Amino acid sequence: MPGALRGPSDYSQEPTRHPSLRINAKEPFNAEPTRRDLVASYITPVDLFLKRNHGPIPILDDIDSYYVTVDGLIDRPAKLTLDDIKKLPKYNVTATLQCAGNRRTEMSKSRKVRGVGWDVCALGNATWAGAKLSDVLQLIGMPYHTEITPSGGKHVEFTSVDQCPEENGGPYKASIPLGHATNPAADVLVAYEMNGEVLKRDHGYPLRVVVPGVIGARSVKWLDRIDIISEECQGFFMQKDYKMFPPSVDWDNIMWSTRKPQMDYPVQSAICSLEDTNAIIPGEVTVTGYALSGGGRGIERVEISIDGGKSWFGASRYQKEGVPYIAGDIRSDKWAWVLFKTVVDVKDDMEIVVKAVDSSANVQPESVETIWNLRGILNTCWHRVRLLTIH
């Protein structure tokens, strides 16, 4: 008898997807929107939102018999139904979910990396709604700001039901530190809505975790279990993937245990109104794109260069179409991206470069070589596009 939520072993029951998505891998389904679609709206429409999967999409047979098991190093294990979660205070959090593999294709051009290739659109900005994880854990007797439980629990592990080849057919899982999970200000959600609609199957229906400011890999979809554990999750995607190694480490000398699983993402930006190479009629060219930073660090400024990075000028930013960015209001873009815009007068062949600075004054690195890593994660080097003029 299959459970209420189950992970199929093949791809015969996948949901339908928007035809304009750029498919990077079919099975499992991995796709991103086009650049122009991505920055056409501040809130990314669900059907155009990045789809990043490691196995077939789970199926919910019966919502009434679905529950999340909360267990591990706690006194009061519980089974929580969707209604139990919905009875908790509901929060709306606008947060950008970015895959650590965003811009991997570009990194691979410098030196080959392993992994699904992504252009610059492996991210999306959504308004997620659900209960705060800190409230869910309070429901089972765990106070806010718990770093360690009396029985030694220090991490919160989320487990799904999808069958992932990397886990030898086991489910996708990840963990975050208990102190992060029980901090109400971290806004970690057990979400049931995305952009005001019930979560779609592709994005984790009926419940997913959303960890704002952290690489997408920790926002586990199709939630089956929440376990309080003493060591961080030992799953493949925590221990053998999504770790940032230095450029000197390659597949012949890698020691996975020497690095921590990646959590926050660094400051990032990309131009989306242009492709990497463009044929352009001379004149004014509008340049738009996105900028974001992890860990709740908002974007301080976005800068453009048309002389290869010797001099820079600021691009204007907007949180919403037509709504100006309020200088100094870092809360408004705490978890969400900013979209930026500028106009460049193009006379001849040229290159346009963008880089962003976050509220901690972190800046994107100039070259991809300095941050190259064998799995091709966290490519945040200055983004460059080339314009070739047609005279």
* Distance separating alpha carbons of residues 256 and 253, to the nearest angstrom: 10
Contact 261, 239 (CB under 8 A): yes
Q: Which residue, 36, 49, 35, is CA-closest to 105?
A: 35
Pick from 67, 172, 335, 382: which binds ligand MTE (CB under 6 A)? 172
Pick from 216, 289, 294, 376: which binds Mo ion (CB under 5 A)? 216
Contact between 220 and ligand MTE per CB under 6 A: yes
Selection from Mo ion, ligand MTE, none that 180 binds (CB < 5 to 8 A by kind) is none
Contact between 53 and ligand MTE per CB under 6 A: yes
Contact between 220 and Mo ion per CB under 5 A: no
Return the number of the residue (99 or 352) whose C-beta is nearest Mo ion: 99
Return the number of the residue (223 or 338) whose C-beta is nearest ligand MTE: 223
Return the number of the residue (121 or 346) whose C-beta is nearest ligand MTE: 121
Q: How many chain residues bind ligand MTE (CB under 6 A)?
A: 18
Amino acid letter, 301: R
Contact between 160 and ligand MTE per CB under 6 A: yes
* DSSP three-state, residue 20: coil
Return the number of the residue (66 or 172) whose C-beta is nearest Mo ion: 172
Pick from 5, 33, 38, 51: which binds ligand MTE (CB under 6 A)? 51
Contact between 134 and ligand MTE per CB under 6 A: no
Q: How far is the CB of 159 from Mo ion (least distance, A)?
A: 17
Backbone angles phi, psi at 338, to 5 degrees: -115, 145
Contact between 52 and ligand MTE per CB under 6 A: yes
Beta-carbon contacts of residue 69 (< 8 Å; ≥ 6 apart)? 77, 78, 79, 224, 225, 226
Contact between 219 and ligand MTE per CB under 6 A: yes
3-state secondary structure 178-235: HHHHCCHHHCCEEEEEECCEECCHHHCCCCEEECCCECHHHCCCCCCEEEEECCCCCC
Contact between 294 and Mo ion per CB under 5 A: no
User: Site residues for ligand MTE, window 54-73 (CB under 6 A)?
Assistant: 54
Kindly indicate which of the ranges 212-220, 228-236, 246-254, 273-281 contains the residues binding ligand MTE, using the contact rule CB under 6 A: 212-220
* Distance separating alpha carbons of residues 160 and 171, to the nearest angstrom: 5
* Distance separating alpha carbons of residues 313 and 274, to the nearest angstrom: 19
330: its two tokens: 């870092």
Return the number of the residue (47 or 84) whose C-beta is nearest ligand MTE: 47
Selection from Mo ion, ligand MTE, none that 160 binds (CB < 5 to 8 A by kind) is ligand MTE
Kindly indicate which of the ranges 46-54, 138-146, 277-285, 321-329 contains the residues binding Mo ion, using the contact rule CB under 5 A: 46-54
Kindly indicate which of the ranges 14-22, 216-224, 280-288, 291-299 contains the residues binding ligand MTE, using the contact rule CB under 6 A: 216-224
Pick from 221, 334, 355, 383: which binds ligand MTE (CB under 6 A)? 221
Tokens 């979209």 correspond to what residue? Answer: 339
Kindly indicate which of the ranges 19-27, 109-117, 134-142, 218-226 contains the residues binding ligand MTE, using the contact rule CB under 6 A: 218-226
Pick from 31, 188, 217, 339: which binds Mo ion (CB under 5 A)? 217
Q: Among the residues of the chain, which ranges form H helices?
A: 35-38, 82-87, 104-110, 133-139, 178-181, 236-239
Beta bridge partners of 93: 128
Contact 272, 289 (CB under 8 A): yes
Q: Which pairing describes strands 78-81 and 383-389: parallel, antiparallel, or unpaired?
A: unpaired
* Distance between start and end Cα atoms, the chain: 68
Q: How far is the CB of 236 from ligand MTE (least distance, A)?
A: 11
Q: DSSP secondary-structure letter at 274?
A: S
Per-residue string for binding with Mo ion, 99-138, x by CB under 5 A?
A: x---------------------------------------
Return the number of the residue (28 or 72) whose C-beta is nearest Mo ion: 28
Sign of the torsion angle spanned by Cα atoms 205, 298, 188, 258 = positive
* DSSP three-state, residue 166: helix
The footprint of ligand MTE (CB under 6 A) covers 49-54, 97, 99, 160, 162, 172, 203, 216-217, 219-222
